[in-house]
Amino acid sequence: MTLVMGVVNVTPDSFSDGGEWFEPQAAIEHGQQLLDDGADILDVGGESTRPGAERPSTEEELRRVLPVVRGLATAGARVSIDTMRAEVARQAIDAGASLVNDVSGGQADDRMADLVAQSGVPFVVMHWRGHSADMQRRAVYADVVQDVCRELTGRVEDLVAAGARREQLILDPGFGFAKLPEHNWALLAHLDSLSVLGLPVLVGTSRKTFLGRLGRGPDQAPRPPLQRDAATVATSLLAIQAGVWGVRVHDVAGTVDALRVFRAVEEAT
């Protein structure tokens, strides 16, 4: 059954919840709320990846995430660390994280492959074409589904060549990362093409801009992120139906309800 990964952003500037849980105690309480709502995994991140975002230093990223990872892991949560830096991943694992979620799939830090190989923890390999500052310039595809599958396959091969085990790897098409709305819709429509690569798939559409554009003309501003949860529940349900391993969401309660609907229908068929 699909796992629900709840987002715990410890950032001043994430696009949907920046600043809300920036103090460690507030972030820990938010994580605990997501667990109460039914999250299976908490994804703690200290770097905003919204388009155009500036990167924090390694020290600042560590300062943000470590107390939160430690606090939530100590309370018994399964914690994932959302980072592109091997040093942050290493210290987060020492603090209790048991999964590494790297939106660059190991490309942003050439020490990440070694960390994956040595730690043995599950590693999310997301489709990524470059840092957020200018990633939307790279949203050029011949066939987005084939191109994403091919590029992810290349990453898997590189990671395995560097000593990672295939069984550690989870694939993510990277919704919103170097993708235009039509690319995101095509990927959502063809999650089965990603599944045939034979590895678990994680889907993160939560509150992303392409959902804010639904029902809006090209000259209208997108709906604000906090008004995108209903659309996120719909996309997550489609991903659940496609049999993905996990969905990464801000609104855990709504997603868990959607999962319950899916289960009830399955049991009734």
Site string for ligand PMM, 126-165 (x = CB under 6 A): x---------------------------------------
- Per rule CB under 6 A, count of chain residues that contact ligand PMM: 22
Choice between 5 and 265, CB closer to ligand PMM: 5
Q: Specify whether 248 is catalytic.
A: yes
Residue numbers 69-98 binding ligand PMM by CB under 6 A: 82
Give min distance, CB of 203 to ligand PMM, in A.
7
Give strand ranges (E) for the chain: 3-9, 41-45, 79-82, 99-102, 123-126, 169-172, 202-203, 246-249
Angle between helices 229-241 and 252-268 (to 10 degrees): 40
Which residue from 2, 9, 107, 232 is in contact with ligand PMM, where contact means CB under 6 A? 9
| Alpha-carbon dihedral angle through residues 83, 87, 88, 90, given to the nearest 10 degrees | 100
Minimum CB–partner distance for residue 172 and ligand PMM (Å): 4
Torsion, CA 214, CA 217, CA 219, CA 221, rounded to 10 = -30
Among 27, 66, 95, 103, binds ligand PMM (CB under 6 A): 103
Measuring CA to CA, which residue among 220, 236, 218 is closest to residue 228? 236
Q: Which is nearer to ligand PMM, 66 or 171 (CB)?
A: 171
Q: Which of 34, 66, 100, 124 binds ligand PMM (CB under 6 A)?
A: 124
Nearer to ligand PMM by Cβ, of 101 and 119: the residue is 101
Residue 7 engages ligand PMM in binding (rule: CB under 6 A):
yes
- Quote the DSSP letter at residue 137: G
Site string for ligand PMM, 215-254 (x = CB under 6 A): ---------------------------------x------
**Shortest distance in whole angstroms from residue 236 CB to ligand PMM:** 12
Question: Catalytic pick from 70, 85, 208, 228?
Answer: 208
Short-list 56, 79, 60, 52, CA closest to 68 = 79
Is there a contact between 39 and 80 (Cβ–Cβ < 8 Å)?
no
Closest approach of ligand PMM to the CB of residue 142, in Å? 22
Strand partners, 246: 3, 202
Q: Which helix (H) or strand (E) holds 192?
A: helix 191-195
Task: Please state, in angstroms and rounded to a whole number, the distance separating the CA atoms of residues 267 and 269.
Answer: 6
**Quick check: is 208 catalytic?**
yes
- State the Cα–Cα distance between residues 46 and 38, nearest whole angstrom: 23
Q: Annotated catalytic sites, by residue? A: 208, 248
